[in-house]
Amino acid sequence: MDGKLTQINGPLVRAELIEACIGEQVRIGKLSLMGEVIGREGNIALIQVYEDTESLILGEKVESLGYPLSVELGPGLLGQIFDGVQRPLKDLVQISGDYIPRGVNLPALNRDKKWLFETNSNLELENVVSGGMSLGIVKETELITHQILVPPNSSGTIIWLAEAGLYTLNDPVARIKNEQGTEELLYLSHRWPVRTPRPFKRRADAIAPLITGQRIFDTFFPLLKGGKAAIPGPFGAGKTMIQQQVARWSDADIVIYVGCGERGNELVDVLETFPQLIDPRSKRSLMERTILVANTSNMPVVAREASIYIGVTMAEYYRDQGLDVVMVADSTSRWAEALREVAGRLGQMPVEEGYPAYLASRLAAFYERSGRVHILGYEESVTGESRNNQGSVTLIGAVSPPGGDFSEPVTGHTKEIVQTFWALSKELADARHYPSVSWTESFSEYVSVTADWWVENVHPDWLKLRSEALSLLTQAQELMRIVNLVGPEALSSEQRWVLEGADLIKEGVLQQSALDEVDSYASPEKQFLLLQMMLVIYHQGESMLTIGMSVQALKKLPLLITAKRCKSNYSSEQTENLKLFIEQIKSDFQKYRIEYAQELL
């Protein structure tokens, strides 16, 4: 179906195009720019264009393709960087040089590469297969075994199944015949429309924490595998660093990093550093489990809107293989702004700060694609599964509120949706307290669920120590209010020691520099021991006060600063040293107690 352009207004164009329906892909003009029909007014289709519309001419041809925006899913996604419509950016450099060209349409996945396909030995001819079942496996990277899935909407009787061997994505690996008698060839990859969530059997309860190696998250505001989190914060507060830390260290199988309307150099940073970084668990290069999606701030705004969906669809695809996937999106505000821009040009009624009324529902629908699920097509009896029966998608979105004001619409709506809220504070960032996560404004609704995990895997006292630490921090905040009104003299010794205790928690536990080689990642055990250490000091000090030692004297104890430095002096492999130091602290205090008692005599 062809039509012609009747209006050009930035990224929004109109065309006389009779049959194209909403959601359909179109190609525009001589350049064959990519676009999507987003509305209709009689014979006129409203089209958002993923590429710059400069030099389009009225009357140019518009061709509708008959299918919606979709992504290619199959082996070869890992380690890649794609743009907002899944064009492979590294390949694009080879073909068109350093600048992003227009109208160039490259397949996302390499057509020439041969993959070693191992047929699922439990499958036989005449078996009936349905969506989500695994036809076999391909070793995509050393780290990841890729299940070759029957596309969710396909099913039928196997009438031919390829033998194990080398295949490209163009070679069929199975032929099935459905109930109507239609035959279908299945390949190593398939396509899926990005705006349609991939189906699963049913939802499962999220139970396991996502361990990020960051103390302020794992210990204080935990997230679950399959959970949803948001990181709001003004510029420079540390949103990107946090997302990169999560992408580096979290114990997920797959990480999808979506740079949505942010800096080009931040993606380069990931591209240059991840291949060298070694995953603490698998000891393999982090790039082997990572996919990047890049629509940087200078790339076309409409593709920004698409990039989030490209990312989450790939996440669901790996989930469907029984894997735990984390997707970080930096920043969802830029995505919302892309919505706003298109809505504005469509003349839709703005409701708050120019955003359309459907902002909240779009945000909710996006986060709804997270979760832990029983995967489709997991049938032990038929396929003798080699994968997990569950998979998860964890979504973590950065939010960039204008002026750092959390009452703006995107932050507000997001806060209603997520269960973990990591609120960043400008004051903490200005004092270089990183991660600048505010312990008063952040929350996690997953604490009691994660407590079970900590008790089972680390220490029975986890929940108790966590609340003690938080309570010290809150008390200290109250006390500082008093100090700022009437001065420190108003505080008792015990109260002044509370301030010191809170400092120990802040400097010894909460502050964790992403740039510190030793402390960038902290294992759950290290996290627990540091917390325990600071609280041991606090309680020991408390008891010294009761026998009359002064706060000044306590504050001069050299072990305080030694304890604060422990995080950088001992790695996650050196937890024995931390335990020894805790014992040392206890015996030091014992010594002080004796000395002190003698002095008093």
Q: Give me the residues that bind Mg ion (CB under 5 A), please.
A: 239-240
Minimum CB separation of residue 29 from ligand ADP in Å reads 37
Q: Which two tokens stand for residue 600?
A: 């008093």
Q: Which of 513, 574, 575, 577 binds ligand ADP (CB under 6 A)?
A: 513
Output the smallest distance, CB 233 to Mg ion, in A.
9
For residues 484 to 523, the per-residue mask of contacts with another protein, x marking binding by CB under 8 A and - elsewhere, is xxxxxx-----------------x-----x-x--------
| CA–CA distance, 601 with 598 (Å, rounded to integer) | 5
Interacting partner of 264 out of Mg ion, ligand ADP, another protein, none (Cβ under 5 to 8 A depending on kind):
another protein
Determine which residue in the list 344, 386, 445, 457 makes contact with another protein, applying CB under 8 A: 344
Q: State the residue number with the nearest CB to ligand ADP.
A: 238
Task: Give the binding-site size for ligand ADP (rule: CB under 6 A).
Answer: 13
Q: Is 341 in the site for another protein (CB under 8 A)?
A: yes
Alpha-carbon distances of 193 from 12, 24, 266, 290, rounded to whole Å: 22, 10, 28, 22
Element of type H or E holding 158: strand 155-161
Nearest distance in Å: CB 206, another protein: 32
| Residue 499 DSSP SS3 | helix
Give every CB contact of residue 579 below 8 A, 6+ residues apart in sequence: 529
In the complex with ligand ADP, the residue whose CB is nearer, 140 or 337, is 337
x/- string (CB under 6 A) for ligand ADP, residues 214-253? -------------------x-xxxxxxx------------
In the complex, least distance from residue 60 CB atom to another protein, rounded to whole angstroms: 9
Locate tokens 């009779």: which residue?
Answer: 18
**Could you give the 3-state DSSP secondary structure of residue 330?**
strand
Beta carbons of 563 and 529 less than 8 angstroms apart: no
The pattern of x and - marking residues 6 through 25 that bind another protein according to CB under 8 A reads xxxxx---x-----------
Task: Single out the residue of 156, 50, 31, 188 nearest to residue 96, CA to CA.
Answer: 31
Output the CA–CA distances (angstroms, integers) from residue 70 to 18, 313, 405, 564, in the order listed: 22, 9, 36, 51
Among 265-273, 358-366, 452-460, 540-548, which window interacts with another protein (CB under 8 A)? 265-273
Per partner kind, with CB cut-offs from 5 to 8 A, the member of another protein, ligand ADP, Mg ion, none near residue 435 is ligand ADP
* Distance (Å, whole) CA 224 – CA 19: 45
Q: Is 514 in the site for ligand ADP (CB under 6 A)?
A: yes
Rounded to the nearest angstrom, the gap between the alpha carbon of residue 166 and the centroid of all alpha carbons in its chain is: 33
Q: Does 584 bind another protein (CB under 8 A)?
A: no
Q: How far is the CB of 155 from another protein (least distance, A)?
A: 39
- Which of the listed partners (ligand ADP, another protein, Mg ion, none) does 233 bind, with a CB threshold of 5 to 8 Å by partner kind? ligand ADP
Q: Which residues contact 76 (CB under 8 A, 6 or more apart)?
A: 109, 110, 113, 115, 140, 169, 189
Cis amide bond preceding 297, omega within 30: no
Closer Cβ to ligand ADP, 321 or 333, answer by number: 333
**CA distances to 234, 500, 561 from 556, in Å:** 37, 11, 9
Q: Toward ligand ADP, which CB reaches closer, 378 or 422? A: 422
Distance of alpha carbon 566 from alpha carbon 423, whole angstroms: 26
Binding string to another protein for residues 59 to 98, with x set by CB under 8 A, is what? x---------------------x-------xx-xx--xxx
Residues in the chain: 601
Interface of this chain with ligand ADP, residues 74 to 93, rule: CB under 6 A: none
Phi, psi of 225 (to 5 degrees): -65, 115
Q: Applying CB under 8 A, does 31 fall inside the site for another protein?
A: yes
Can you tell me which residue has the tokens 């990093």?
257
> Footprint of ligand ADP on this chain (CB under 6 A)?
233, 235-241, 434-435, 513-515
